[in-house]
Homo-oligomer: A and B are copies of this chain.
Amino acid sequence: MALIGAFKRLLGDTAVLTREQDLAGITEDWRGRFRAPALCAVLPANTEQVASIVRLCVENGTPVLPQGGNTSLCGGATPSELSKPPVIILLTRMRRIRSIDPVNNTMVVDAGCVLATIQETAAAADRLYPVSLGAEGSCQIGGNIATNAGGTGVLRYGNTRDNVLGLEVVLPDGSIWDGLSALRKNNTGYDLKHLFIGSEGTLGIITGAVLKLHPLPKAEAVAWLAVDDPQRALDMLGLFQAACSSRLSAFELMNARQIELVLEKVPGRRCPVERIDTWHVLVELSDTGNAEQLAATMQAVLERALEDGVISDGVVAASEAQRKAMWLVRHSVSEANKKAGVGLTSDTAVPVSAVPSFIEGAMAAVHAIVPDLPFVIVGHMGDGNIHLIPFFTFAEWDALGDRDAVAQRIRRAMNDVASSLRGTFSAEHGVGRTLTGEMSRYKPPVELTLMRAVKQAFDPKDLFNPGRVLPSPSIATSHRGD
């Protein structure tokens, strides 16, 4: 085909993948849920090559799909069977740390850099790049930015959005926007950077970025708390914020069922507190200052909370090994849940103050569909981001009649409760292809109209990751307008 020939002349034969076996891991998402054909995959070595590829695709009317580490949880980075087979642009070869400026606390990177490489490069310069998430060993920064990745550092450092100062983007007309600004203050027109962040490849292909770095914390204090209910966890969060301000770097909530599953399913894990039948909180403080002061602050907050009855138990990690052991329990959650059964995870965020109402309301709504269904609950409570997981054993799940319909009803019930509290159905995973129906249901029509106007202005031919993020206008109906 002419387009493939043109790519080979541009990039060399080895940088254009067309064979079934070479495309297998690229045209399917990592969980094996979505798979559709691509015309080919191409491996540009630099931004100019990306721009040339885009120009060839646009001339040809062929869709363009950028792919980073292919770690999307909602089918955002693999082809859709709803559009013509796209050209997949892999950023893998573009993995240069372009420069680092420890005085300005910034790093300029290619979009294909793996997140862990960026974290390590920052640490080697005595700085912190604070975004951290499960896929960090393979996900790429371009994908992180295109999806505004969250993770465990959000409470203190914000989402990926808050840690990007500038971008380089190849636009749908094949031109290159050099927005690689490393400034903290710049009030000169519309902030285009924020439009591309979180746009999931539908407005342009991010090829480079200026990242914000932070002082590397030198001290940490970690504690494990037992609380009677989510409201008391919330009270505890308030005590920590008042006493520790931005030293509070994690505040993770888990229910008893979640801890039980970890202890049952993952060898070597143990619960840091004696009673398991409570709610659990992992709290972390971190600071550039000295460790003794930090430990003393942690101790003082916990003593007061115990006295006041806010917590029923609390253990401060006395060593690095104990800190690691506590975090291991939290990090074993996915493994345990996967082994234990089928969970219909929500990716809810609500105002932090509404977390107890959300948990109570969403559980009741789900129980109206499947009475007495157990819930596993884990979340970044400090951000109001709760993964509420109606949980089936494998046997229960297999015994269900129409599983897809049940799953759909349950998810909708949880999202409706979140929406009634002005929460969101996608706190950190993005929209991709799986949640465009939710966009129709929960977004006000005015907002969808504005988003479509932006898409039309940037990508009038609808060739950039078509069918993602925005629902097709014909099927748009508003929940709020009901």
Contacts and interface: CB of A to CB of B under 8 A. Distances in A.
A191 B197 contact: yes
B194 A470 contact: no
A318 interface: no
Nearest to A235: B103
Contacts of A195: 190-191, 194-195, 454
Given A187-B198, A289-B297, A353 B457 contact: no
Given A162-B162, A446-B176, A184 B349 contact: yes
Contacts of A104: 351-354, 384
Interface stretch (A22-30, A236-244, A256-264): A236-244
A383 B138 CA distance: 33
A267 to B, nearest CB: 33
A139 interface: no
Contacts of A346: none
A469 interface: yes
A188 B242 CA distance: 31
Contact of A191 (B161, B214, B426): B161
A392 interface: no
Interface in A423-482: 423-431, 435, 438-439, 442-444, 446-447, 449-451, 453-458, 469-470
Say how many copies of this protein the assembly contains: 2
Contacts of A439: 188-189
A458 B469 contact: no
A277 interface: no
A426 to B, nearest CB: 5
Contacts of A47: none
B244 A288 contact: yes
B189 A470 contact: yes
Given A179-B447, A195-B191, A186 B101 contact: no
Contact of A446 (B177, B215, B351, B446): B177
Contacts of A238: 102-103
Nearest to A427: B185
Contacts of A442: 188
Contacts of A425: 188
A274 to B, nearest CB: 29
A287 B354 CA distance: 27
A182 interface: yes
Interface string A316-346: 0000000000000000000000000000000
Given A186-B349, A189-B469, A191-B197, 4 more contacts: A104-B352, A177-B447, A177-B450, A188-B426
When A and B form their complex, which 5 residue pairs have the shortest distance between CB atoms, in order from nearest? Answer: A194-B194, A103-B353, A185-B427, A457-B457, A453-B457
